């Protein structure tokens, strides 16, 4: 149990679209399953219905004797969603985007490759109504690349503005989904220890044509 305290300190939650992440090319994003397809246009005004995110963060460090690894995962759907996003072919304008998250995360502690402890803990946060504008470019028939952040995300340190990134689009009736995948690996010193952090998130936003 002596490593439980650093586990709690270092086992932070990675949530959708935090500023420390790097996006994959839109060409690597999965189309998924179902009847929805790429036929359609993003142009117009869309109501923000909800966002789904599956995230994981792995932290590895050596405490002087043992190799320690913590893994934190979450899978959530936003609540109390509101706001609109307008696309005009080159610019997207978000107006009054807001949502809340009230979910559970799971954490695991490994020492020298052996599972030593695990826990579940709640997390909750609210993104207040936010309005912003960003330019974007089409990348094929079913993808766009947003030049700067529009969608505000929630990270372990609070709310953050999303970085530029690619989104795969799908259309199903009056619904459009925007899927993005983020990955990041970084090395840093924390409390005098060398620490490697590996972050991954898959985020899907669902919008309805107005």
pLDDT of residue 192: 79
How confident is the model over 12-21, as a mean pLDDT?
A: 33
Tell me the pLDDT band of 146, cut-offs 50, 70 and 90.
confident
Residue of higher predicted confidence among 151 and 80: 80
pLDDT of residue 90: 93
CB-neighbour burial class of residue 127 (10 A; exposed 0-12, middle 13-18, buried 19+): buried
**CA–CA distance, 17 with 21 (Å, rounded to integer):** 7
Query: In the structure encoding, which two tokens stand for residue 166, read together?
Result: 């690619």
Mark 37-61 as b/e (b = at least 16 C-beta within 10 Å): eeebebeeebebbebbbebbbbbbb
Where do the domains of the chain lie? 4-209
Candidates 83, 51, 50, 61; CA nearest to 11 is 61
Three-state SS at 10? helix
Strand 91-111 with 152-155, pairing: unpaired
**CA–CA distance, 101 with 17 (Å, rounded to integer):** 14
Query: In the structure encoding, which two tokens stand for residue 60, read together?
Result: 């590895």
Least confident residue range of 154-158, 181-185, 200-204: 154-158
| Bridge partner residues of 155 (DSSP) | 158
Tell me the pLDDT band of 153, cut-offs 50, 70 and 90.
low
pTM, two decimal places: 0.77
How confident is the model over 51-67, as a mean pLDDT?
A: 91
Q: What's the CA angle centered on 165, arms 140 and 141, to 5 degrees? A: 10
Candidates 75, 90, 74, 96; CA nearest to 151 is 96
**CA–CA distance, 159 with 161 (Å, rounded to integer):** 7
How many other CB atoms are there within 10 angstroms of residue 63's CB atom? 12
């Amino acid at each position: 149990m002596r490593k439980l305290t650093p586990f709690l300190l270092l086992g932070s939650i990675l949530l959708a679209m935090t500023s420390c992440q790097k996006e994959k090319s839109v060409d690597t994003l999965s189309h998924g399953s179902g009847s929805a397809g790429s036929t359609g246009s993003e142009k117009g005004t869309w109501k923000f219905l909800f966002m789904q995110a599956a995230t994981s963060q792995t932290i590895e460090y050596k405490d002087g004797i043992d190799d320690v690894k913590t893994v934190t995962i979450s899978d959530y759907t936003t609540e109390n969603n509101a706001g609109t996003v307008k696309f005009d072919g080159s610019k997207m304008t978000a107006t009054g985007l807001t949502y809340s998250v009230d979910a559970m995360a799971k954490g695991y502690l490994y020492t020298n490759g052996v599972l030593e402890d695990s826990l579940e803990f709640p997390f909750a946060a609210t993104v207040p109504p936010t309005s912003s504008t960003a330019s974007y470019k089409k990348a094929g028939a079913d993808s766009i690349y947003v030049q700067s952040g529009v969608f505000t995300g929630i990270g372990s340190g609070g709310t953050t503005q999303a970085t530029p990134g690619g989104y795969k689009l799908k259309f199903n009736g009056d619904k459009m989904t925007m899927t993005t995948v983020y990955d990041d690996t970084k090395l840093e010193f924390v409390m005098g220890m060398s620490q490697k952090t590996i972050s991954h998130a898959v985020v899907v936003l669902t919008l309805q044509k107005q």
